[in-house]
Structure 1
Amino acid sequence: MPAPLTPETLARAPKVLLHDHLDGGLRPQTVLELADAIGYTDLPASDAESLGAWFRQAADSGSLVRYLETFAHTVAVMQTPDAVQRVARECALDLAADGVVHAEVRMAPELLTAMPIEAAVEAILDGFAAGAREAGTIRVGALLCAMRQADRWDEVAGLVVRYRDAGVVGFDLAGPEIGFPADRHPSAIALLDRAGAHRTVHAGEADGIESIRGALEGARAERLGHGVRIADEVPEDGSPLGPVAQRVLDEQVTLEVAPSSNVQTGAYPSIARHPVGRLHRAGFAVTLNTDNRLMSGVSVTSEFVAVSEAHGWGWDDVATVTERAVAGAFLGDADRAALLQRVREGYAALRG
């Protein structure tokens, strides 16, 4: 007999996370302690419970701009290598405790301005490695973000190549989609191309189909961060897909979907009205992700629970979405095969 699909059983299920921001997943108590250590006095609350509630409420405004303002506090307390290392270690431990067996967590090292950018990358990698060793059940790779609106793409692309044997698994573009196209710095994209480096691009979150087209054609994205606006070309009545959606479907471009985050930023009114169910049914390479665990007050488990309840998913759906995440992970063939076997064994045990 299969186990019932409950928060408890989903917590035990092996999960793969492709879209999670390091500066969006701090423990509230850690924010307080790091702020105290550096004399940062701008936090809106002085105890962990109230601070966690403030982050969720501020992020729940329905405005992407207001949502992003919350990061001023988390980034402010991550301005020393020791702080970054601690946050990365705790990230790995928290994800492992949630049943995540493989995670690719992203950070823009250019935001950590009080240290050399190489020191920021090394602190991130050291923290992930320490947490993974301590947990013993998770592998964590780093994605390095270049900010679309800044001009450090070449530098970040170079760091991706330089540190890829040390735990950096790929490149990401983050920041405002509108007005900052994904091919704005073609030299960075060319550098990644020459090195055969993996890349994912935030697209189809705050902007629509043309942003997705730009990510695919201009940056040659292998995965789309969010990507949910592809639904603009997926008619609800089952009529033919638009050309970009057809390409994304045919090529099985991985969609790093984060439904709770999309609801918080006002992209969709509710999980029930979110197109994740429609895209999954249509065969798109949908994966489920947290985006920012602190701001959204979510875990990978809670995201699966919410989507399963709203869209009628069962174990087959959860397993399929997880296997798609394995397929989209930036791994070598042997590591991917081992991860897929681990995932399949875990779901076989739950499905009975």
Structure 2
Amino acid sequence: MKAPAFWAREGALASALGPLGALYGQIVTARAKRPGLQLGVPTLCIGNPTLGGAGKTPVVRSLAQILRSEFGIEPHVITRGYGGSVSGSLRVDPQRHDAGLVGDEPLLLAREAVVWAGPDRVASARAAVAAGARILLMDDGFQNPGLAKSMSWLVVDGPAGIGNGKVFPAGPLRERFPDALERADALVMIGEDRQGLAAKTELPVLSARLIHPLEALVSLREGTTFAFAGIGRPEKFFDSLRAAGVQVVGTRAFPDHHRFTASELHDLRAVAKRNRARLVTTEKDLVRLSPADRSEIVTLSVTICWWNRPRVQALLKGLITPASER
């Protein structure tokens, strides 16, 4: 789904849809407050207050790395596997499974952690615990009451913020921002906080930014590129290339989780050739392509850089350390 332009500002259409959005938000919040199933292991939910594009998956990948490298714990990630056809709960194997089965984000997450994909988060969590999971990381699911959360972190894209501040369909919010904050334990702010949202909460604010590997950027700066992406906010990817000094001669945006057709890929290659440019896309987009379709397409990975990593570590330690040992 591509976010409509009016979600970014106040206007007549947003105002007209406001009452419907208010009702929708009340329903979402009331449902989210229902008690969830307790499975006896720490469960950290990484969610967001808006629809798509905030940066949840890079945050989950980063936390999985920290838990494994600095705490010696192998986290198990629970994800719906949006865009995949899996119907049960499946332990993701990047060597055997593709995006058509498990979705694109689970394939990326499986590089850092054990990942369980499936539409039923509770079933996936049960499978993870049965397999020996000592901690669960939920990629999304903040508004879903099925599984009890030990801790929840809300991820916000700083420059985009919460748009016009209205609830879907009047705006990008899944529920009222204050209602979401009431159930959260920390706010993750990725990039510049242009709407001053951090000042509206007393929660710990974990500031971070998305970065690309320097060596990859150096290589891309040597020529011209044509960028394409089917993610929550393609413009964020395009802007990051330009900000890094990459000469972008053109861009093409697709909906999040888009399944590229042979015709679309042919057109992309043709326009890149006319501009004597290299095609560049995101890791998330590349995993949705077949190995044959990936040829001559450059991918640019992204990672989270925490401004205050010790604070992140302290919150994780509080999550995994029994109360009797604190």
TM-score, normalized by the shorter chain, greater than 0.5: no
**TM-score category by the smaller chain?**
0.3 to 0.5
User: For the pair shown, which has the larger CA radius of gyration, 1 or 2?
Assistant: 2
- Structure number with higher helix proportion: 1
TM score, norm. by length of structure 1: 0.31
Q: Report the TM-score, using the length of structure 2 for normalisation.
A: 0.33
Which structure shows the higher strand fraction? 2
